[in-house]
Chains A and B, each alone.
Chain A
Amino acid sequence: MEKQVQKTGFLRKIEKSTLWLLLLLIGLVVVVSIAAPKQFVTLANFQSMGFQLPEFGIMSLGMMICMIAGGIDLSIVGMANLSGIVAAAFMHAVGVDSTAGMAGGICLALVVGMACGAFNGLLIGGLRIPAMLVTLCAQQIFMGLGLVITKGPAIAGLSEAYQVIGNGVVANAIPIALVLFIGVAVVLFFVMKYTVYGQQLYLLGSNPVASRYSGVNNIKVIVKTHMISGLLAAVAGIVISSHYGSAKSDYGSAYTLQTLLICILGGISPVGGKGKLAGVVLAIVIIQVISSAFGILRVDSFLKTFVFGLILIAVMIMQYWAGSGSKKIKTTKEKQIG
């Protein structure tokens, strides 16, 4: 305790786990740069990383707030695809090249995402069904709805203007999607840190009973959380459909595990109430660096599944070991509070 107090300024503000993640990221970048300097340290590589990262990055932020609230959202990919499909279908109905159609499609996608989130939130908060079960079932429903709209094949032939969101760059180098991701992260950072809702979110996650007795409307917070998650999923869905130039109900099925892995790696507690946005953002970059390294080394995608599973389990076991070491301190702390 005393040591921490003595630290001043910048270092004191950064949590220990975030510092570890930063070191891990730097280490990874150095290793990959030495292993494949010609492919990794290039503008083209960093740019392609910037195109891939926002897709699952934005989804991970949605997963993050649901986990902080003590739940989980396994339907993020379903919401993203459904939103993308609705936007694509709307644009086709209005006329592919009309600007108004594009704006309407994007707005409609965001509304669909929020509606899906509200559906999840009402079942979780209102009927008190565990989030895990609700979102697992909801994933099937959202995917099914997407299939009903597309009737199977992808909705292709989206306008050039729409495809700019996922493929365009600003200032000749920075992908628009990356700017979008940074914007979302910054807004979410302020929402979580400086708004009443942000504080309620952490309180609900760490102790729902205490939260209720201190006058927080738990249902409202849960619904809001899942609506934000749905909104973020819709943004990710727009980026994905724009990137591919088409929308389909089974894009990005590997992202569910990836977002969960990112949140766990980023220090979000699976039981809720703990975790910082900075950690998650670092974890997103780490996973992207690993993905890119796999691409450069031409390793097949099956091995990627294996390695991601391995990392998830390894991180959890390490957290268990770290946790069992500091158990004594925790219990005394709990007693003091109690």
Chain B
Amino acid sequence: MNQQAKTERIKNIFSSNQMIVIYIIAGMLILIAGINPSAFGPATFIDTGRSMLTMLMFALCEMIVIISGGIDVSFPAFATFCMYATTKLMVTAGIDGVLLSFVIAGAMGLGLGLLNGFLVGTCKIPTLIATLGTSSLIHGALLSFVGVNDITNLPPQMDEVGKQYLFQVQTDAGVSSMSIFIILPIVLCVIVWLLLRYTMLGRSIYAIGGDVNSAQRAGFNVKRTQYFIYMFVGVIVGIGGMTYTLLARNANTTQLMGSEMMVIAAVVIGGARITGGHGNVLGTILGVALINIVSNNLIVMGVPTYWQTFLIGLLIIVGVIITSVKAKRVALAPKI
């Protein structure tokens, strides 16, 4: 009996959502290595890590919102607003400082998050509609009141930090460098993991995602939790946007817009259920890794650029179908 339970558990681990994503990632890597062995090496991993950097920060935010039973499509607009307004402010006021830029962007994000929190927590507006509205509002406000043109003349300290590397690897094709900003998403992963797993606040996020009414009756403060979620997400999105600017060494008003699709897909492929209550940090990391590996290597694999949107869309829908069918099967299975 005990033996049976043990094998059952091992079987569950190997057929879990995260393992499926790992299988797909492994398959993709083998495929890439088969088609173009020269593109396969430490440089690939460093490039993937670098391109994952900001997306992972946004994905962790999106995951928290999705666990709580909502969805957030406003973060690209928020991130764009924070990074552009902060950069513009610092350039025009003539102040410099990396840490200061993060503080300002984070504070702006906090304010914007408060707006989402008010709409969702107090006014009980469905999250998709509320965040679509704020997305349009904030991006429109940025373009009509703050500015439109790219800012490329960053203050010297902020410009310099984009060229700071944690380590570099010499390959035949050139030097691959890992930015020091990779520390940010790693720290964030640990924070979010601890928050979701070991704090009452984190458990209440899962609780309201599972069933709002039950959570309320069990004594969780739904409103306060929702305010916390959106404000926390706002701060992280602000910092994530600033990271994007410092890495790219320019502030742009349109580049991030439209990235919500990929981020939501990464989170859902990583095992978070769009209906709420399920999801974890490891799954999200894997989901982001998968999407990045695929989108970075389509060119290496010789796929024409005009096929990419469709193929990534196809990958996403297949991922969504697999996780949904699995979730349905779990929901219908007899419970002991």
Residues of A within 8 A of B (CB): 72, 123, 127-130, 132-134, 136-141, 143-145, 147-148, 150-152, 257, 260, 264, 270-271, 300, 302-310, 312-313, 316-317, 320
Chain A residue nearest in CB terms to B308: A144
Chain A CB within 10 Å — which of B125, B265, B275, B325 has the most? B125
Question: Which listed residue, B264, B274, B306, B321, touches A148 by the CB 8 Å rule?
Answer: B306
Residue contact B143 to A136, C-beta cutoff 8 Å: no
> Given contacts A127-B328, A148-B306, are A133 and B274 in contact (CB under 8 A)?
yes
Complex CA distance for A90 and B131, rounded to whole angstroms: 39
Known: A147-B307, A257-B132. 14 other contacts (CB 8 A): A127-B324, A133-B268, A133-B274, A133-B320, A141-B317, A144-B314, A148-B306, A260-B129, A300-B144, A303-B144, A306-B140, A316-B125, A316-B129, A316-B133
Residue contact A316 to B123, C-beta cutoff 8 Å: yes
Cβ of B22 < 8 Å from any Cβ of A? Answer: no
Question: Which listed residue, B134, B311, B312, touches A309 by the CB 8 Å rule?
Answer: B134
| 14 CB-based A-B contacts, threshold 8 Å | A128-B324, A128-B328, A130-B275, A132-B274, A133-B268, A140-B309, A144-B308, A147-B306, A147-B310, A148-B306, A260-B132, A300-B144, A303-B140, A309-B138
Chain A residue nearest in CB terms to B262: A140
What does the 1/0 interface line of B127-151 toward A look like (CB < 8 Å)?
0111011111111110110001000
Complex CA distance for A306 and B321, rounded to whole angstroms: 35
Min CB gap B316→A, angstroms: 5
What does the 1/0 interface line of B89-116 toward A look like (CB < 8 Å)?
0000000000000000000000000000
Contact residues in A for B314 (Cβ distance below 8 Å): 141, 144
What does the 1/0 interface line of B257-297 toward A look like (CB < 8 Å)?
00001001100100000110000000000000000000000
Complex CA distance for A306 and B268, rounded to whole angstroms: 30
Contact residues in A for B148 (Cβ distance below 8 Å): 302
Chain B residue nearest in CB terms to A133: B274
Residue contact B119 to A305, C-beta cutoff 8 Å: no
Residue contact A136 to B264, C-beta cutoff 8 Å: yes
Residue contact B134 to A144, C-beta cutoff 8 Å: no
Residue contact B133 to A130, C-beta cutoff 8 Å: no
Contact residues in A for B140 (Cβ distance below 8 Å): 302-309
Complex CA distance for A132 and B310, rounded to whole angstroms: 19
Chain B CB within 10 Å — which of A123, A132, A305, A310 has the most? A305
Contact residues in B for A312 (Cβ distance below 8 Å): 129, 132-133, 136
Residue contact A313 to B134, C-beta cutoff 8 Å: yes
